[in-house]
Amino acid sequence: MALPAVLPGATQARLGVEAELRRRGWETAQAPAAADLLVVCGSPYPEEDRRLDTLLRTMSQPAARVDVTRPEHAAQALDEGFALLRDKAASRSESPLGHEDAAAGKHDAHPAKGTAPAGPAHGPHHEHAGPGHPGQDAPGGHSGHEAHTMSTVAGLPMADRAADRDGLSLDRLNLPLGPVLADWPAGLILRCALQGDIVQEVHVDRVPGPSDGTSFWNEPWSRAARGEPVERGAAARRRCAAHLDSLGRLLSLAGRPDTAARLRRLRDDVLAGAPSVHCGERLQALTKRVERSRTLRWGLAGLGRLSAERARQRGVTGPALEADGDVHDRLLTWSREARRAVRDFDDGRPLSTGRLIGPRGTVEGTVPPSQALLDVLPELLTGTELGCARLIVASLDPDLDEPVAVPATEGAHA
C-alpha cells in the first residue's frame, strides 16, 4: 500500500504516480499505519523533508520512502520502492534487529527498529505524524485560543476547556488536518479546534510551495495572459480534467469510491488527449448518474452554503460563485462545466485574452482564485461536524499550487 504525500506544485507528479499505481493495481493507503511505501510527490523544502522522515518513522516496518518529482519517473520510483521494501523484509527476517541499509540517493532506508520505534523522534508530535493526533503548533505557529499553559501527558498536549454551542463547557482539542491526508488539497493545513467532532475554530495554514507559484491546472490561461498562443481545445481539456479531479475527490469522500475511480481514469484520458467523442460519451454517462443520484443530494444538500452574493463579497470567482449554493450545487456546477468543456476539445482557435477564467476562477487578476476560496473556508467550516467540514473543503477544492498566502496567525474566531 502506498501513501502519497503531495507537496504544493507537484500536481503533475501526483497524476503520474496515481496513474502508475492504478496500472499496477496497488492500493493507496488512507493513513500511515496501513501503508508501507511513502511516495513523496514534489521536492520538499528541508524542514518539510525532515517532517516527512518523521512520518516515515511512524509507519509500520518494513517501510520505505521514495520521492517523485516528475511524472515520468513514477514507474521507476515505485520499482525502487518495491525493491527497498523487499530488501528490508528479507534483511529483517535474517536478523530480527534489522541493519543499516546503505541506500543510495534520495531513498531513505531507516533501519528497522525492533517492534515500534519509540525514540524521541517517533511519535505523533506534529501534523505529519498522521492527521489523527493532537498536534503541537509548529514553532512560530499559534494556538488559537487563550494562551494559558497546556498540560502535557507523555509529551502530548492535553485538551483545554471551552464553551460549546450548547453552552456546556467541554474539552477542546487542537488538531491539524493535513497536509498528508487522503483526498485533501495538496499542501493545505487546517489547524482546527475540535470539540468532539465539531469544528469550533479554523485557522488556514499551508506548506510552503514553489516560489514561482505556477499551477498546473491554470497553466493554459496563465500562458495566454503572458501573451503566448494557447489553443482553446487545450484549455478546455485542462478545465475538464481539473473539474474531474475535484469531483473525484469530493465523491471519494462522499463514499462513492467507484464513481470517483472512473472519473479519475477519465481525467487521465482527457489529459492524455483521448478523442473528444469517446471522452464525451463516458463523461455523459458518469455525470448523468452523479447528477441524478437522489441519495447523493440527500447527503450533500444544505452543507456549506455560500450564496453568490456573499461569494462575490469575498472575491470568489469561478464555479463556486456560479454554483450559488451548497456542496451539492458546487458538485453539479463542476459536472456541468466539465460536460460543456468537452464540446471545445477540438477547437483550434487561440484563447482570447479577454476574461481568462480558469477552473477555479479568474486567472489574470491581482489575487489568485484559490485565495478567495481559502479566505472563505473558516466561516464555512466553523460549527460543522468533521465529516461535513471535509466535504465542504473538497467542494471548494482550493489549489495551493497557486501563489496563495495564508493569513497572519490570527485564528478565525467564531
Partner 1 sequence: MPDAAPLWATVILPVALVSVAVVTAGFDAVLSAAAVRGRPGSPREVGTWAAAPLREAFRLLAQQPRRTIAADVALGRIGVVLVPVAAVLAGAVLPLGFRPVSDPAVGIVWFNAMEALAWAAVWLTGWGPNSALSLIGGYRFLAQGLAYELPHMFAITTAALGAGSLRVGEVVAAQDGLWFAVWMPVAFLVYLLSAMAMSFWGPFGHPLGRDTAGGAAMELSGVDRLVLLGGRWLLMVVTAAVSVPLFLGGGNGPLLPPWAWTLLKTALVLAALVAGRRLLPTLRMERYTEFAWLVLVPATLLQALVVAVVVLNR
Partner 2 sequence: MTEDIVFWVLAVLAVASGVMVFRFDSMARATYALLLSLLCVGGEVLLLGLDYLGVVIVLMMTIEMALMAVFMVMFMMNPAGLMPMSMLHNKKGAAVICTTVFAALATGILLARWPARRGRPPTDPTMSLGMSLMGPQMLTMVTLGMALFATIVSTVVLSTRRGRYDRFGDDLRTRPADDPVPGGGGR
Residue 135: CB minimum distance to partner 1, A:
10
Residue 388: CB minimum distance to partner 2, A:
7
Burial class (CB in 10 A: 0-12, 13-18, 19+), 298: exposed
Cell 484559490 belongs to 370
Q: Is 196 in the site for partner 2 (CB under 8 A)?
A: yes
Interface residue with partner 1, options 246, 252, 287, 333 (CB under 8 A):
252
Residue 384: CB minimum distance to partner 2, A:
7
Q: Is 383 in the site for partner 1 (CB under 8 A)?
A: no
For residue 318, the SS3 value is coil
The stretch near partner 1 (CB under 8 A) out of 38-46, 181-189, 211-219, 403-411 is 181-189
From residue 58, alpha-carbon distances to 37, 38, 119, 190 in Å are: 12, 11, 10, 21
Q: Is 285 in the site for partner 1 (CB under 8 A)?
A: no
Query: In sequence order, which ranges of 226-256 are alpha helices (DSSP H)?
Result: 232-253
Q: Is 130 in the site for partner 1 (CB under 8 A)?
A: yes
Cα(50)–Cα(67) distance, integer angstroms: 13
Nearest by Cα to 56 from 70, 37, 43 = 37
Q: Is 289 in the site for partner 2 (CB under 8 A)?
A: no
Q: Is 22 in the site for partner 1 (CB under 8 A)?
A: yes
Nearest by Cα to 77 from 119, 105, 111 = 105
Interface residue with partner 2, options 61, 195, 317, 335 (CB under 8 A):
195
Q: Give me the long-range contacts of 302-311 (CB less than 8 A, separation at least 24).
A: 302/326, 303/327, 303/328, 303/384, 303/388, 303/391, 303/392, 303/395, 304/380, 304/381, 304/384, 304/388, 304/391, 304/392, 304/395, 304/396, 306/376, 306/380, 310/376, 311/372, 311/376
From the CB of residue 220, how many other CB atoms can be counted at a distance below 10 Å?
24
Q: Is 112 in the site for partner 1 (CB under 8 A)?
A: yes
Per-residue binding letters, 324-363, with partner 1 (x by CB under 8 A):
----------------------------------------
Interface residue with partner 1, options 284, 295, 307, 353 (CB under 8 A):
295
The stretch near partner 1 (CB under 8 A) out of 67-75, 180-188, 306-314, 342-350 is 180-188
Q: Is 31 in the site for partner 2 (CB under 8 A)?
A: no
Q: Is 298 in the site for partner 2 (CB under 8 A)?
A: yes
Interface residue with partner 1, options 76, 169, 226, 255 (CB under 8 A):
255
Q: Is 1 in the site for partner 2 (CB under 8 A)?
A: no
Please give the residues from 375 up to 394 whose contact with partner 2 meets the rule CB under 8 A.
383-385, 388
Cell 489547524 belongs to 191
Q: Is 115 in the site for partner 1 (CB under 8 A)?
A: yes
Residue 174: CB minimum distance to partner 2, A:
10
Q: Is 151 in the site for partner 1 (CB under 8 A)?
A: no
Residue 94: CB minimum distance to partner 1, A:
14
Residue 409 makes CB contacts below 8 A (sequence gap 6+) with 140, 141, 142, 203
Interface residue with partner 2, options 302, 343, 405, 407 (CB under 8 A):
302
* Residues forming a β-bridge with 231: 350
Interface residue with partner 1, options 75, 87, 123, 160 (CB under 8 A):
123
Residues 98/110, Cβ–Cβ less than 8 Å = no
Would you say 124 or 398 has its CB closer to partner 1? 124
Burial class (CB in 10 A: 0-12, 13-18, 19+), 240: buried
Q: What is the DSSP letter of 170?
A: E
Name the binder of 128 from partner 2, partner 1, none, CB < 5-8 A by kind: none
Dihedral over alpha carbons 351, 354, 359, 360 (to 10 degrees) = 160
For 24-77, give the secondary structure using H, E and C: HCCCECCCHHHCCEEEEECCCCHHHHHHHHHHHHHCCCCCEEEEECCHHHHHHH
Please give the residues from 141 up to 180 whose contact with partner 2 meets the rule CB under 8 A.
151, 153-154, 156, 158-159, 165-168, 170-173
Residues that bind partner 1 (CB under 8 A): 1, 22-23, 25, 27, 30-31, 33-34, 36, 58-62, 89, 112, 115-116, 118, 123-124, 130-134, 153-156, 173, 175, 181-183, 194, 196-197, 251-259, 261-262, 265, 293, 295-296, 298-299, 385-388, 390-391
Residues that bind partner 2 (CB under 8 A): 151, 153-154, 156, 158-159, 165-168, 170-173, 194-196, 298, 301-303, 383-385, 388
